[in-house]
Structure 1
Amino acid sequence: MKRRICIFAMLLMMCHAYTQIVYHDATHFPLLGKAAGATGTRYERFPDSLKNISRAPLWSLSRNSAGMAIRFRSNSTQIAAKWETLGNNHMNHMTDVGVKGLDLYCLQKDGKWRFVNSGRPTGKTTQATIIAHMQPEEREYMLYLPLYDGLVSLFIGVDSLSSITQPAVDAPVRTKPVAFYGTSILQGGCANRPGMAHTNIISRRLNRECINLGFSGNALLDLEVAKIMAEVDASVFVLDFVPNASVEQMQERMETFYNIIRKKHLDTPIVFIEDPIFTHSLFDRNIAREVQRKNQTLNEIFTLLKKKGEKNIYLIHSDKMLGDDGEATVDGIHFTDLGMMRYADLVCPVIQKLIKKKKVQ
């Protein structure tokens, strides 16, 4: 009888040990979605050399981890995370999960990524179990990082007796990423959770790494951003700055911004995207006029580039971007998850076609 009790106690101890969570520094695993390497900390988007050169708001936003994701593999029955955000930011039109939370995806046998669950933030520092009670089998994971905050540190938690290793599958494919430049919408405003930012949706659909250089309210065609983009060996460059840039800024800088990239990538497709037809422009006549004027300016400069003999440049019109039901934004401007999906529906086929065309050439 005593022997049975001892065996039972040992089994309980083993089970208890198995369910203990051990945390591993995420710096040991691949980081996707980063354009520049020489950053002050791992989860920033600008190199440290731009700290005293960039406009202050642009530099501050570059410290947000928008579009970045950690890739790893584990056979754990649970996945947890501990993370400290840079600013503990909060916005009144976007969920805290989207602003400063985490989003876990798992690669399925059919090659598609499946949403698992989110890490919901509780403050500047959070410790949370994202998923539990799974079968102990090897799985490939992708953990999306905050869209509108930065990270001081990130640790991934797994069962103490399980393994956590480098990914065994190259997905999303990291060679020849798609590089995006744009506004608050491109940065991820206002997706409910990080995985629903449209660059992340497009990355999963294309099975291709995407780089998010979206800067809320600050896509003003700053030439240092063009220089950063030009250092990326991209398959396609997507320029979606019109919601922020004024007509005057486009007239002054758009061609120069384009030429900086083109000089280093003679044949790479470069895609321009019109200003969205914002849902409240149906009622706000000033917004409607502004959108029309900006899109007209973009089209004029694009046509001029074509007349100058520029090739492999493309323009995506926005009239069908958000649908016709008015339900795709949270405030008339920033996209809900529905808006993000509709944007991806419009843009993804164009990028996919250009990648295939480039391969054929």
Structure 2
Amino acid sequence: MIETPFTPDLVRGGGELARSETGVRLHRLPLPYREREADAQFRMVERQPSGIHLRFRTAATTVVLRVHSTRVSYRGLDRARGMVDVLVDDVLALRHSLVQGDALELDLATGAATPRSGDVDVVTAAGMPPREKTVEFWLPHNEQVDLVALHSDAPLTAIPDPRPVWVHHGSSISHGSNAAAPTEIWPVVAARAAGVQLHNLGFGGSALVDPFVARVIRDRDADVISVKLGINVVNADLLRVRAFVSAVHGFLDTIREGHPDTPLLLVSPIFSGIHEKTPGPGAFDPEALRTGDVRFVATGSPADVARGALTLEVVRDLLERVVADRSGDPALHYLDGLSLYDAEDAGTHPLPDGLHPDTATHLLMGERFANAAFAAGAPLRR
């Protein structure tokens, strides 16, 4: 078998490669930000390679990828493992569920954290046609992975991707929470439908209008950009109206320093009944935890809205106003998140935990975003 090294031209989707004890570690947030400004939560999720994949041409019939994963688990709660999706000429050929790897088991009742070590996962794509073809290994969106080794029975050649680059920033929903597989998170669904290459800066719990994230987007090559803000600011109870509006303007100003004319879409939150009229903080529902389920509740008071507290309804109005106030920027556009998922959808596609879509809803949202943002005449169509 031929061993192919992991090089930047082989790894697509905006990842940064770093050496680790077990191989090559993937990061979605560059230095120095991940060490200087990101907190522990952010550092955990930026290492989950949502949207990142290996892409190459080969006549090989067998390709073997070895990865070492690290995940967070919760005692008493069943969480689905990460997947590796293998696409051959853009058609799903293999879906491999991780079973090995390290874990940090958290006890939500006591706060205790117990590390558990595990082995390397081996993902074998065998029986592929013996002709030249494009093969992609999409990495788990919900577990950290180190790339250990890549072997094949014929040479692999990294190939450029000529499609427009779409840089997207958002919360855990954009990160892919509750989707079953890496090609089923809504940004990947939208990117594949629209024929663009995704650089996913969706970070679970961390779409907090951080200035350093705006600098990352400013400095990233991009043909089109979208920014989906609101839900994390609400469920963290982070900002009030005055600070939120100013922060969003500053965020957009920073992006425009590097991309003065790039199509830029500001997207408001999808429907989430717990936070539509009730501010954060959000919290785990203790009654659900006692039965082994995960659900979220809003713990703020609707009375605080009059004093500037944020709800999803308030955020949508504010983001629409921000875009209207920047009418001198013809490449800036607004997309109402309710066009992706609204109260009526909640009746037919309920959010399992009150915040995050399931796989079917991710697929629905991805299709809707592709139509709203990338169809003929849409804001991000290039």
Residue 114 (str. 1) matches residue 102 (str. 2): no
Choose the corresponding residue for 1:214, options 196, 202, 205: 202
Choose the corresponding residue for 2:316, options 295, 298, 317: 295
Residue 346 (str. 1) matches residue 338 (str. 2): no
Give the superposition deviation at 1:166. 2.6
Q: Deviations over 1:320-354 (max 9, x none)?
A: 32362432533222121211112112221233248
Partner of 2:230: 242
Letter aligned with residue 94 of structure 2: N
Q: Deviations over 1:40-80 (max 9, x none)?
A: 96510122212123333223322221111110122233333
Segments of structure 2 that go 5 or more residues without pairing to the other structure are 102-118, 280-296, 303-310
1:69-80 mapped onto 2 (5 Å cutoff):
69-80=53-64
Residue 123 (str. 1) matches residue 142 (str. 2): no
CA distance in 1, matches of 2:32, 2:256: 23
Segments of structure 1 that go 5 or more residues without pairing to the other structure are 1-20, 108-112
State which structure, 1 or 2, has the greater radius of gyration over its C-alpha atoms. Answer: 1
Choose the corresponding residue for 2:177, options 189, 194, 200: 189
Residue 165 (str. 1) matches residue 157 (str. 2): yes
Residue 331 (str. 1) matches residue 331 (str. 2): no
CA distance in 1, matches of 2:158, 2:72: 31
**Alpha-carbon distance change, 95 to 27 in structure 1, aligned in 2, over 3 angstroms:** farther
CA distance in 2, matches of 1:198, 1:359: 18
Letter aligned with residue 127 of structure 1: D
Residue 260 (str. 1) matches residue 254 (str. 2): yes
Letter aligned with residue 324 of structure 2: T
Letter aligned with residue 334 of structure 2: L
**Alpha-carbon distance change, 42 to 206 in structure 1, aligned in 2, over 3 angstroms:** farther
Partner of 1:204: 192
Q: TM-score, with normalisation over the residues of structure 1?
A: 0.78
Letter aligned with residue 315 of structure 1: Y
Residue 26 (str. 1) matches residue 11 (str. 2): no
Letter aligned with residue 331 of structure 1: D
Using the aligned pairs only, state the percent identity: 18
Contact 1:182/1:240 (<8 A) preserved: yes
1:265-284 mapped onto 2 (5 Å cutoff):
265-278=259-272
Letter aligned with residue 267 of structure 1: D
Partner of 1:45: 28
CA distance in 2, matches of 1:297, 1:218: 20
More helix by share: 1
Q: Which shows bigger deviation, 272-281 or 195-204?
A: 272-281
Q: Deviations over 1:222-269 (max 9, x none)?
A: 101100101123121111021112452522310000000112212111
Partner of 1:6: none
Partner of 1:318: 337
**Alpha-carbon distance change, 47 to 319 in structure 1, aligned in 2, over 3 angstroms:** closer
Contact 1:36/1:47 (<8 A) preserved: yes
**Alpha-carbon distance change, 259 to 138 in structure 1, aligned in 2, over 3 angstroms:** same
RMSD: 3.1
Letter aligned with residue 72 of structure 2: N
Give the superposition deviation at 1:358. 7.8
